[in-house]
Structure 1
Amino acid sequence: MKKLFLVIVVAYSVQIKAQQKTDSVLAHVTVTGLSYEAKSVMPISYSSVSRSRIQSLDYTAEPSSVLQTLPGISYSTDNGTLFGYSYFRLRGVDQSRINISLNGLPLNEPEDAGVYFSNLPGILSNSSSLQLQRGLGLSKNGSPAFAGSLDFETFAQQTNYTTIGIGAGSFNSGNIYAEHANEKGNDQFYYKLLGIKTDGYKYHSDNTSGTAMFQWQHKMKSYQLQYLLLAGSNKNGLGWLGVSDSAIKADPRSNGNSALEKGNFSQIVQQLHLTKTITPNSSIHAGIFYNYTDGEYGFDLYNFLGFGSNGQYLKYKTKSSYGGALIDYNYRSTHFSFTTGMYGSFYRKYHDGINEPTGTTAYNNYGNKNEFSPFAKLIYHVNKFYFFTDLQYRSAAFSYHGDATLPTFKWNFINPLAGIGYQINKHWYFYISSGNIQREPGRNDIFEGNDNLQKDANGNAVYANLAAENNFSTDAGLRYQDNKLSFALSAYRMQIEHAIDLNGQIGPTGVPLHSNVAEALRKGIETEIHYQLNKEFLLSESFAWASHHIIQADINSVPVLTPTVISFTELQYQKNNFTIIAQAKYQAKSYIDFANNYSMPSYTMFNLLMKYDYRKFFFTAKWMNITNQTIYANGQLNVWGKPIYQVNAATNFFAGIGIKF
């Protein structure tokens, strides 16, 4: 908290100094070094979501509320609602294998590449835009973009306004927030406070969380400075453990976790960006970041084993520091665009186990992970052709310090991508790209799900020496754009050696487990359509078809949690100050275990969203799961190899009112 207090004092003093200057209009500023953002002429499959689109769908909920509208996205939540822990998958791949960043700087924690949005509640509502790249995409900083990447942008906020809002809904859910943006001279400031509360759909799966955000942007003739402080906290009744199908049928609000299992986490993210224009065609960008986390959660072993709770549990405590820097040089000319740079980071995370209720220490350990990656990207434009190449070298090392000795793991990867695009005419664009990316295993999988490294009878460390996975990927697609129609179609093929895939099991830390498989083949088709039927009606459709297989010891099976079809349809009506959006989602069945013995059924879900603006006031209402379907969203095998499931909430409502002035 001392660190947070210091940066708030500094931010306040910066604003006081800025207010002494003459007022002027500050031009819209974004981070110039967007070496990670896909453009329309790049051979990349991607979807971009604007701030207005985010505002029409979001209600300070988890990012899945908007991500589910994009091709190939499935999601699940721990407590059944979109307030609290939620997770998304892209092309059937879990989010630990997806690069997630904020303004181009990493959010995935390096040990296991996890991102817990509940630590930063409302991160979506804080964003000015987001971009999801499917497939390898552009080289990224931090965790490899194995199945894709997701970036949140925050620096393109509007100026000179204040918004105050409050909302309430099912399961005693509610939110309250206030934001303010203003300009003073060459400086722009943005503040936001947000609080969220819900009891959760499941029993004892409540969430109480909040976030504070401060941004400062300073622009001069040849340079710009941008600073971000984002601090969040959450308290949760845990709900990551599924229950049997019979328990769901008896009471779908059943929670596999015991009431003793609670979590309490906080996170602080700080970023500073400097962009300097060197010539009209060139610029240099530098960004530094520091992420700090601190928290704890309970694990009830007797409940996990199915014996019921006996009042004793293990408290996992963690604390981490993650910092790094990015520098890149950008050059553009009529036919040529070039970016080169380097990224480096350090990371340390402490792990402690405390026996409760006695409070005695069971163990403590910590790990370090450092990374370095130079990169270069080139686009050459001649006639109607766009030639693209992207090359990254990535070096990472992990060391462990505890009561067992573990050798230091070191990885060195070269990740190339090349592609070509062709502008058929002013409406049609064709592209194809192919590349290779490698990714190391995470700490949780190396430790076989244990938080403290286990030892055998001779005192030697017991761990899984997993191979790094290697993804050879090809994407090809068509894009069409005119005044009424936006259309994108892509096909992909991912051939993965030594794939580190979900195996359907879950470890005692609550984190899903992965295993090496000899080969995984993922291929499919994705499409995204937006068609303006007339002045009032907009029809949107995202569709994904997948044919995925795991080949291991002559066994051919479908990967875990990988539905064959995901479809999301939306019809929007907008006239004057009134907007209504009808949504329909279909998701095919998916398997929850390697052997494909157990599956989750398909489902169709309908939602209705409404918004009305009256002068300075706005009113919103959302009705989710209108037909009250039992939606199986996640599945696992328990410690005895039996299937257990998690379901999303039954029909539910959320309404809000706000004022903007």
Structure 2
Amino acid sequence: MRRLSLMLLLQFMAAIAFGQINLTGVVKGDGERLAGASVVIEKSFYGVSTNANGSFEFKNLEPGDYTLQVSFIGFEPQKIDLPLSGSKNIEVNLEPNVVMTDEVLISATRAGSKTPVAYSNVSRDEIASRNMGQDIPFLLNLTPSFVTTSDAGAGVGYTNFRVRGTDLNRINVSVNGIPLNDAESHGTWFVDQPDMASSLENVQIQRGVGTSTNGAAAFGASINLQTNSLNKDAYGTYKTAAGTFNTFKNTLSVGTGLINDHFTVDVRLSKVTSDGFIDRASSDLKSFFVSGGYYSENTILKLNIFSGYEETYQAWYGVPTVRLNNDTEGMQRYADHWLMTQGEVDHMMASDSRTYNYYTYDNQVDHYVQDHYQLHFSHKLSDDLNFNTSLHYTYGRGYYENYNADEDLADYLLPNIEIGTEVIETTDLINRKWLDNDFYGITFSMDYTKGLNNLILGGGYNVYDGRHLGNVIWAQYLGEADYNHEWYRGTGLKKDFNFYAKYNVQVAEKLNLFADLQYRRIDYTIEGIDDDLRNLDQDHDFNFFNPKLGVFYQLANNQDLYLSFAVANREPNRTAFVDYPEGNEPPVHETLHDWELGYNYASSKLSFGANFYFMNYKDQLVVTGQINDVGSAIMVNVDESYRTGIELQAGVQIANDFQWNGNTTLSINKIKDFTEYVDNWDTGEQDAISLGTTDLAFSPNFIAKSQFVYAPGENFSIAFISQYVGDQYIDNTSSDDRMLDAYFINNLKVDYTFPTNLFDEITLHFMANNIFDDKYETNAWVYPYLLGGERYKMDGYYPQAGAHFMFGVDFKF
């Protein structure tokens, strides 16, 4: 026994000694040591940055063959194949770029490796491998605390997402540093730019307040999209995919490569169509992207023009609980309470319980076109200093069309119609509600980097000019009014200026301090009348100061720790302003104090990260059930609310060709002293119900993601992907009868690439979504009311598709 123990001990010690190979080295460029260069071991989780002397070190490596990826802004990246049987010291010499690279265009709003915030980067390859027609939110779904939903049920058409329970109206989204959020609603609709994913270089998601950026406040996350960077070689790709629900996607991309060492042109054309999982929830989507650039050693001048067209059949109503549960008695009561016509009742009763769509009018569509123009200029003033500026213009226009039965003529500024002795006061009609807007401005930044110290000064000035109007395009009784009769018109003029300074300084060998100070000024004027004929005239001004401070400490070459505190202020959106009752005080701005504490570890076989957050809100705007004088729900400031939790990430290189990675979020999301307001149909008043501390809506306490990837070679991979989302309340009352049940879904993805004589390569894709055919819903709305002393509700849930599939083929030439 003693001999066996001694033998095992000696074997263990030998294994440790055998595995303790260290790789050290220095990275140089133009003969100078490069501080802050990235050195990553391929097919592992292990990556480091060079220190102030340009040195790096990897510890405790196992014997074997390794490939290093070495990169630094302004130099050509390099791959180095390196067999290791013992410790080794190497020198890497990077060649200067012949031309500047596009990273400089977005560096001012990106978090770096030593920025003390929680963030995730999604690469071009990751985006491309998942891009088979679904919208961008579904391609980012594996990142921590990220939850998606789809109106049509399958990820094509109108999609939505939340990060840490925060909805998209509070998430800042930018493209190349230029705001994408609608300035009035604060929302972002990726359906307006179909297949933008095919023109993306990478995406960075910062959770919490993050670093300063341009446009709408980051009140839970910011998403920074970078479009295609320089392709030095000519290329062409044609990608086609088809699948369940008559879903088809076709994309053609071509590029000239670098012409005469300076010029390049890239073009993409895309078309996506789908019938949708929900009845009639079809999508007809088209887009293009054109980019022309001039590149030299010290200058980039680049023009991006991209446009999207969408026409989607409305699936906004959702499926009532009584229809989901096949509750015939409940459906009849629902119809009686809401005065549904017999035709509407018959339609609801006859529809499938999971694909029911209230709308039946043939042209009940949302139709929108959005054009973007971006002109980017970057110039290297010296080895340490870069200047960037961008001009931009966005033009959006479109409408959604509605059929409405038995509408009051007076509500549309139409006179009653007399036919003999009969006076007609109501009519069936079709209307279109239009949004026509211009958004333009300038962004700028100055980036100074000396060694491991970095100073950025930046900001922007943007103007939004929007027109809201409604037309009656048909009516059963229109009298002498013209078709296309306009019954309301309102405008919104919003001017937004911001300036920020970011400083990341290394105060000791392993210690960095970070400061980020932003001033933001908003002038917002609303004029005209709303669709319910209320006067809208009002002016609002805001001055915000948003400081962010943090510390980053490198515990070892593969471990780091960070702590940060950030403040964000957010102005109310248009809806919050126009719907508050006349005579009441308007809503005030919201304030968020965000604490983040994180730890990261990485080795060749294992990675682990933990991030604790505490997001404390003052005057957060939420729905309480209160309504205005015409019955519209209003947003109300609640004094105290918070979100707190921990995000865990891990990855394991199980074998050379087999990897697992995943993440989990555990959170608590609360409103203190919440009061619910419920319409009492018996009294015509609202009943106030004090509920104390309640859960914030759409904020699951538990989220988990998992991905197993088996890739036995460069040309083949298979991935098994799982996601669990815990129970979510659909309003702020913590009522069990107003909840999205937890769901656990699993997907399977297969990719195979091979060369041919006709094409450089062909890649086959197969994606099976929800392979176990689980039934679940990801979004909902609810309206509770009292009638006859009993409590009832009108609601709509958004079921997602069961098992469905996509097949794709990519041709590269």
Q: Tell whether the structures are fold-level matches, with TM greater than 0.5.
A: yes
- Does residue 371 (structure 1) correspond to residue 496 (structure 2)? The answer is yes
Kindly provide the amino acid, as one letter, of the partner of residue 160 in structure 2.
Y
Residue deviations 1:345-391, cap 9 Å, x none? 11111011112424321111111000111110001102210100000
Q: Please point out which of 503, 519, 525 is paired with 1:399.
A: 525
Alpha carbons of structure 1 residues 114 and 505: separation in structure 2 relative to 1, 3 Å: farther
Q: Please point out which of 562, 566, 577 is paired with 1:431.
A: 562
Once the two structures are TM-superposed, the CA of residue 32 in structure 1 deviates from its matched residue by: 3.7
CA contact (8 A) 1:378 1:389 kept: yes
Once the two structures are TM-superposed, the CA of residue 304 in structure 1 deviates from its matched residue by: 12
CA contact (8 A) 1:133 1:148 kept: yes
Partners of 1:428 and 1:649 lie apart in 2 by 42
Partners of 1:203 and 1:387 lie apart in 2 by 55
Partners of 2:584 and 2:494 lie apart in 1 by 18
Alpha carbons of structure 1 residues 179 and 405: separation in structure 2 relative to 1, 3 Å: closer
Q: Which residue of 2 aligns with 1:351?
A: 468
Correspondence list, 1:38-57, <5 A: 38-57=111-130
Partners of 1:249 and 1:573 lie apart in 2 by 40
Q: Please point out which of 457, 467, 471 is paired with 2:588.
A: 467
Q: Which residue of 1 aligns with 2:740?
A: 600
Correspondence list, 1:263-278, <5 A: 263-278=366-381
Q: Which residue of 2 aligns with 1:589?
A: 727
Residue deviations 1:454-507, cap 9 Å, x none? xx9xxxx57771110010110010112222333321000011010023558999
Q: Please point out which of 651, 657, 662 is paired with 1:530.
A: 651
Q: Which residue of 2 aligns with 1:215?
A: 291
Q: Which residue of 1 aligns with 2:703?
A: 566
TM-score by length of 2: 0.74
Q: Please point out which of 594, 605, 619 is paired with 2:764.
A: 619
Alpha carbons of structure 1 residues 504 and 77: separation in structure 2 relative to 1, 3 Å: farther
Q: Aligned with 1:247: secondary structure?
A: helix
Once the two structures are TM-superposed, the CA of residue 644 in structure 1 deviates from its matched residue by: 2.1
Partners of 1:472 and 1:430 lie apart in 2 by 20
CA contact (8 A) 1:33 1:328 kept: no
Kindly provide the amino acid, as one letter, of the partner of residue 608 in structure 1.
L
Q: Which residue of 2 aligns with 1:295?
A: 398
Q: Which residue of 2 aligns with 1:14?
A: none
Q: Which residue of 2 aligns with 1:384?
A: 510
CA contact (8 A) 1:502 1:559 kept: no
Once the two structures are TM-superposed, the CA of residue 406 in structure 1 deviates from its matched residue by: 2.4
Q: Which residue of 2 aligns with 1:550?
A: 671
Q: Aligned with 1:408: secondary structure?
A: strand
Partners of 1:291 and 1:97 lie apart in 2 by 21
Q: Please point out which of 618, 627, 639 is paired with 1:518.
A: 639
Partners of 1:202 and 1:557 lie apart in 2 by 32
Q: Aligned with 2:747: secondary structure?
A: strand
- Does residue 656 (structure 1) correspond to residue 808 (structure 2)? The answer is yes
Once the two structures are TM-superposed, the CA of residue 284 in structure 1 deviates from its matched residue by: 0.9
CA contact (8 A) 2:431 2:472 kept: yes
Alpha carbons of structure 1 residues 505 and 273: separation in structure 2 relative to 1, 3 Å: farther
RMSD, aligned α-carbons: 2.5
- Does residue 643 (structure 1) correspond to residue 795 (structure 2)? The answer is yes
Q: Which residue of 2 aligns with 1:178?
A: 252
Q: Please point out which of 617, 624, 629 is paired with 1:496.
A: 617
Residue deviations 1:158-181, cap 9 Å, x none? 442110121111111101110012
Q: Please point out which of 385, 401, 408 is paired with 1:282.
A: 385
Once the two structures are TM-superposed, the CA of residue 642 in structure 1 deviates from its matched residue by: 2.6
Kindly provide the amino acid, as one letter, of the partner of residue 278 in structure 1.
L
Partners of 1:505 and 1:657 lie apart in 2 by 52
Kindly provide the amino acid, as one letter, of the partner of residue 749 in structure 2.
L
Q: Which residue of 1 aligns with 2:455?
A: 338
Name which structure has the greater RCO, CA cutoff 8 Å, separation 6+.
Answer: 1
Unaligned runs of at least 5 residues, structure 2: 1-96, 327-352, 409-425, 476-483, 530-534, 675-689, 756-760, 786-792
Kindly provide the amino acid, as one letter, of the partner of residue 386 in structure 2.
S
Q: Aligned with 2:127: secondary structure?
A: helix
CA contact (8 A) 1:612 1:619 kept: yes
The answer to which of 564-573 and 397-406 deviates more is: 397-406
Partners of 2:155 and 2:306 lie apart in 1 by 20
Kindly provide the amino acid, as one letter, of the partner of residue 624 in structure 1.
N
Kindly provide the amino acid, as one letter, of the partner of residue 810 in structure 2.
G
The answer to which of 29-38 and 39-48 deviates more is: 29-38
Alpha carbons of structure 1 residues 50 and 335: separation in structure 2 relative to 1, 3 Å: closer
Once the two structures are TM-superposed, the CA of residue 545 in structure 1 deviates from its matched residue by: 1.0
Partners of 1:205 and 1:515 lie apart in 2 by 33
The answer to which of 257-266 and 99-108 deviates more is: 257-266
Correspondence list, 1:123-142, <5 A: 123-142=196-215
Q: Please point out which of 468, 483, 494 is paired with 2:604.
A: 483
Once the two structures are TM-superposed, the CA of residue 530 in structure 1 deviates from its matched residue by: 2.6
TM-score by length of 1: 0.90
Alpha carbons of structure 1 residues 352 and 502: separation in structure 2 relative to 1, 3 Å: same
CA contact (8 A) 2:646 2:667 kept: yes
Once the two structures are TM-superposed, the CA of residue 39 in structure 1 deviates from its matched residue by: 1.0
Partners of 2:305 and 2:704 lie apart in 1 by 37
Q: Aligned with 1:84: secondary structure?
A: coil
Q: Which residue of 1 aligns with 2:229?
A: 156
The answer to which of 291-300 and 432-441 deviates more is: 291-300
- Does residue 422 (structure 1) correspond to residue 495 (structure 2)? The answer is no
Count the aligned residue pairs.
Answer: 624
CA contact (8 A) 1:60 1:125 kept: no
Identity %: 24
Alpha carbons of structure 1 residues 346 and 30: separation in structure 2 relative to 1, 3 Å: same
